[in-house]
Amino acid sequence: MDIELPLDLPDEHRARLAWFRENVGRVVPWPVLDNDAMRLSTQGKAIYKPAGWKYALSVKRYLKSRYNDGEVEPLPGGGWSLRYGKESDDKPGGSYANESALECMVAGFPVGVLWQVTDKRHKNGSTFRVLGLATPVSFDGTYFRLVSQEGLSPVAQAEMARSEAEAQVDDVPGSDYDARLRALRGIVARQGRAEFRQALIDAYLGRCAISGCNVIAVLEAAHLRPYRGPESNKVTNGLLLRADIHTLLDYRLLAVDPATRRVRLSVQLAGSQYEAFAGIPLAEPTAASQRPDQRVLDVMWHDFQQVEVELAQPRHSSPGFPNTGLP
């Protein structure tokens, strides 16, 4: 199927991505890729981020890769995935290249993928096969997982990223740079999979459903009912929320009254800055088909009320610790 190009990218970026989409399968000589008219890659950089860009444009896999890149792995139903090593941390520009690929992962943007066919010692010089566009869906600190969009749905991509993330074992970052990479990975985990989050951003017009905050960087995709597989990633099972309000929702310190569709706060938030949100109507999408599912709100409301009842019961505090009611 045709690959949709992100609408929220500059025209120049979209034009270069379109070249990869339109030339899938071609074997092209190096001068076609590295020219002043429309540079698609560059010598010495496996991950190419044009100067001044935030996002990576392309990656290339060499015949003799010192990064131990994987082979193309076919996916059920078509398409492919590829394990792709990050650039060396001590290589000039390596950190910027890796971060630009991570930014693509955060935003859900694809990169062009090139596979070397002949090296520079061949009489015709280096040539590369255009594999097309693929999206970085996970990063384990050493390798990216790139997934083509032809044969894998966005939900399936999200599932692959989630399963790989859950299999990772974190240790203490060895440097500020490693910590930065981990922070970007954390952003992906907190904000939610790119496709689900983008669907909520579109439905809620880029504003928090409770606070009205329109700073996209701090808005997260909140599941109303906990994630239980791809079917959970429906707009009707989500809210676009500012990060701190998302946390309150998860702790059941905040809920939406299903009868009035207004915000209710826990007694624990009495006197806090969040009192300003008590009783305000939930800002819902214009389309009724995108509004929170009534049954889901009913379940959340029941859970919220149970927590409030428990908080009202006398409890003994441990010595030196206030009785907050939190775990």
Residues whose CB is less than 8 angstroms from the CB of residue 121 and which lie 6 or more positions away in sequence, other chains included: none
In one letter, which amino acid is 270? A
Q: Within this chain, do residues 140 and 239 fall inside the same structural domain, yes or no? A: no
**To the nearest whole percent, how much of the chain has pLDDT over 90?**
29
Residues 229, 152: Cα–Cα separation, whole Å: 16
Residues 101, 215: Cα–Cα separation, whole Å: 22
- Domain end marker among 135, 154, 173: 154
Q: Within this chain, do residues 138 and 235 fall inside the same structural domain, yes or no? A: no
Q: Within this chain, do residues 126 and 214 fall inside the same structural domain, yes or no? A: no
Q: What is the total count of domains within the chain?
A: 2
164, part of any domain = no
The predicted model gives 108-116 an average pLDDT of 90
Q: What domain range is 249 assigned to?
A: 195-312
Residue for token pair 């992100």: 6
Nearest to 300 by CA among 310, 290, 288, 308: 308
Q: Within this chain, do residues 114 and 249 fall inside the same structural domain, yes or no? A: no
182, part of any domain = no
Note the helical H segments in 168-313: 176-191, 194-203, 243-250, 294-312
CATH number of the domain enclosing 87? 2.30.280.10
258, part of any domain = yes
Q: Within this chain, do residues 96 and 33 fall inside the same structural domain, yes or no? A: yes
Q: Which residue has the higher pLDDT, 173 or 31?
A: 31
Residues 172, 178: Cα–Cα separation, whole Å: 9
Confidence grade of residue 77 (pLDDT, cut at 50, 70, 90):
low
Nearest to 139 by CA among 196, 100, 191, 92: 100
Q: b or e along 222-253 (b: 16 or more beta carbons within 10 Å of the residue's beta carbon)?
A: bbbeeeeebeebbbbbbbbbbbebbebbeeeb
- Helix %, strand %, coil % of the chain (to 5): 35, 20, 45
CB 218 within 8 A of CB 243: yes
Q: How confident is the model at residue 182, as a pLDDT?
A: 58
The predicted model gives 302-320 an average pLDDT of 66
pLDDT digits (tens, 9 = 90+) for 150-187: 544 444 444 444 444 444 444 444 555 555 555 555 55
324, part of any domain = no
Q: How confident is the model at residue 88, as a pLDDT?
A: 75
Helices (H) and strands (E) in the chain, counts: 8, 12
Q: Within this chain, do residues 51 and 146 fall inside the same structural domain, yes or no? A: yes
pLDDT at residue 249 is higher than 50: yes
Confidence grade of residue 7 (pLDDT, cut at 50, 70, 90):
low
Residues 56, 46: Cα–Cα separation, whole Å: 10
228, part of any domain = yes
Q: How far is CA 134 from its chain centroid?
A: 14
pLDDT digits (tens, 9 = 90+) for 175-220: 555 555 555 555 544 444 667 888 899 999 999 999 999 988 888 8
Taking the CA atoms of residue 17, residue 21, residue 27 and residue 29 in that order, the dihedral angle to the nearest 10 degrees is: -20
Q: Within this chain, do residues 206 and 307 fall inside the same structural domain, yes or no? A: yes
Residues 114, 59: Cα–Cα separation, whole Å: 6
Q: How confident is the model at residue 33, as a pLDDT?
A: 93
Q: For strand 58-61 and strand 111-118, is the pairing parallel, antiparallel, or unpaired? A: parallel
Q: Within this chain, do residues 148 and 73 fall inside the same structural domain, yes or no? A: yes
The DSSP code for 83 is: E
CB 159 within 8 A of CB 196: no
Q: Within this chain, do residues 60 and 127 fall inside the same structural domain, yes or no? A: yes
- Domain end marker among 154, 181, 204: 154
190, part of any domain = no
224, part of any domain = yes
Q: CB-based burial of residue 75 (10 Å sphere; 0-12 exposed, 13-18 middle, 19+ buried)?
A: middle
- Domain end marker among 121, 154, 187: 154
178, part of any domain = no
Q: Within this chain, do residues 145 and 212 fall inside the same structural domain, yes or no? A: no
Q: Within this chain, do residues 18 and 92 fall inside the same structural domain, yes or no? A: yes
Q: How confident is the model at residue 166, as a pLDDT?
A: 46
Q: If you average pLDDT over every residue of the chain, what do you get?
A: 78
In this structure, of 91-95, 127-131, 199-203, the range with the lowest mean pLDDT score is 91-95
Q: Within this chain, do residues 307 and 201 fall inside the same structural domain, yes or no? A: yes
